Amino acid sequence: MFTWHHGFWIYFLTRHHPMVWNFLLGSMLPDYIYIIAVAIMLFHGQLSWIDLLHLDPAKMMSLLPMYPWVVKIDLIGHSIIVWGIAFITALLVQIKGARAFVIGWGTHLLIDSLTHAAYANYLLYPLSLFSVHSPISYFEIQYFANEFNWVNRILMSLAVLYLLYEWLKNKRKQ
């Protein structure tokens, strides 16, 4: 699933929780490195602003060999082992919003495990290169990416309509 979609869905599901923004920021955590990588690629002229309109995961992956540190950080951010350590730490240490942030991060890992086929994440990194290959991918055509994205867009559109309805209903009450 695209980074922004992770954020949208966790926002939709936790919008009434006081820690909604912690959930949201955590849900996109593993992919922040790609925002940094794109900024660097823009700076170095490897991508143009026009390229951003058509940038897909396959194009990004073709540029990543120039930035092996991005791949390492991606592996760490998508690891259940690393997430588990953060989760246990969040349970033991009382830092306001940390639990919501780490739970949001966990939802990212869960959704990615359901939407990554050939390019599945190594869930047990750095202990193992074990991965779960989903039968569905959000960007690989041969793994029903078009169908998945249609369903996701329809559901997101319905969710936006519901949020608009909810906002209008609350506005009328005031």
pLDDT at 59: 82
Nearest-angstrom CA–CA distance, 59 and 148 = 20
Q: How far is CA 112 from CA 34, 133, 138, 170, 172, in A?
A: 15, 10, 9, 34, 39
What is the DSSP-derived secondary structure letter of residue 95?
A: -
1 pLDDT above the threshold of 80: no
Average pLDDT over residues 117-124: 88
Q: Is the pLDDT of residue 120 over 90?
A: no
Tokens of 48: 């143009």
- CA–CA–CA angle 147, 149, 151 (5° rounding): 70
Q: What is the pLDDT of residues 99-118, one digit of tens each?
A: 999 999 999 999 999 999 88
User: For residue range 62-78, what is the model confidence (pLDDT) as tens digits?
Assistant: 888 999 999 999 999 99
Q: What is the mean pLDDT of the chain?
A: 93
DSSP assignment of 18-87 equals TTHHHHHHHHHGGGHHHHHHHHHHHHTTSS-TTGGGG--HHHHHHHGGG-HHHHHHHHHHT-HHHHHHHH
Q: What is the pLDDT of residue 146?
A: 93
Tens-place pLDDT, residues 7-27: 999 999 999 999 999 999 999
What pLDDT does residue 62 have? Answer: 86
Structure confidence at residue 168 (pLDDT): 94
* Confidence category of residue 128, pLDDT binned at 50, 70, 90: very high
Distances in Å between the Cα of 120 and the Cα atoms of 2, 51, 106, 174 are 14, 25, 16, 48
